[in-house]
């Protein structure tokens, strides 16, 4: 599953798999956590990333208001995805104890879509924006992709040629960002453009 969001420099596609990687690596703040329901949450074990059917993470352990719980965790972009994916009627999801959301529900109350008792909002806990993760993911795919050979071709060049290529690429990227920012300013005006960017 993917979500399209408006990034700082234009529309951006985020995969659920990318967000699952963030959880699997534990690349988020883990102190002073609270569920959307208002309970104090401590993550004892992130669980095992399940790449097959069923919950995204198995054998998760958490402490909620001092009480330890064991089970599974399911990650979604939106709270309504639980129902959209028919998890409520799927017995494979009966052991889910934590619903991890990327984006906050429209109403910050217990989700009407999901019967899971505890919900954690991940977006507020990330050390960087989703756009940065997507850029890192895209760059990693370019560098490691068999079809491009980018890393090898760069390493075959002299230092001077590599620097020239990197500087040219940086200038091109900067010009694209400036053009996008100018277009946003022209279309939205200063105040609204600042609001969208922030």
b/e burial code for range 3-31 (CB count within 10 A of at least 16 → b) = beeebebeebebebebbbebbeeeebeee
**In this structure, what token pair is assigned to residue 73?**
């965790």
pTM of the model: 0.65
Residue ranges per structural domain of the chain? 2-125, 157-197
**Exposed/middle/buried for residue 75 (C-beta within 10 Å: 0-12, 13-18, 19+):** buried
Report the C-alpha gap between 38 and 104 in whole angstroms: 14
For residue range 176-190, what is the model confidence (pLDDT) as tens digits? 778 777 877 887 788
Report the C-alpha gap between 62 and 42 in whole angstroms: 6
For residue range 84-112, what is the model confidence (pLDDT) as tens digits? 888 888 899 999 999 999 988 876 555 55
Q: What number of CA atoms fall less than 13 Å from residue 21's CA on the CB side?
A: 10
């Amino acid at each position: 599953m993917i979500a399209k969001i408006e990034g700082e420099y234009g529309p951006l596609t985020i995969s659920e798999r990318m967000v699952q990687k963030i959880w699997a690596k534990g690349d988020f703040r883990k102190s002073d956590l609270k569920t959307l329901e208002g309970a104090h949450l401590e993550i004892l074990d992130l669980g095992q990333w399940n790449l097959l059917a069923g919950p995204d993470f198995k054998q998760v352990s958490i402490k909620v208001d001092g009480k330890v719980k064991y089970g599974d965790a399911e990650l979604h972009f939106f709270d309504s995805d639980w129902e959209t994916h028919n998890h409520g009627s799927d017995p494979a999801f009966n052991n889910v104890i934590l619903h991890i959301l990327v984006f906050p529900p429209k109403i910050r109350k217990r989700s009407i879509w999901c019967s899971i008792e505890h919900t954690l909002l991940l977006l507020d806990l990330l050390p960087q924006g989703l756009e940065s993760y997507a850029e890192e993911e895209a760059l990693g795919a370019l560098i490691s992709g068999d079809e491009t050979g980018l890393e090898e071709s760069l390493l075959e060049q002299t230092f001077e040629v590599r620097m020239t290529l990197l500087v040219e690429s940086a200038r091109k990227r900067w010009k694209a960002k400036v053009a996008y920012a100018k277009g946003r300013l022209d279309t939205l005006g200063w105040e609204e453009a600042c609001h969208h960017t922030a």
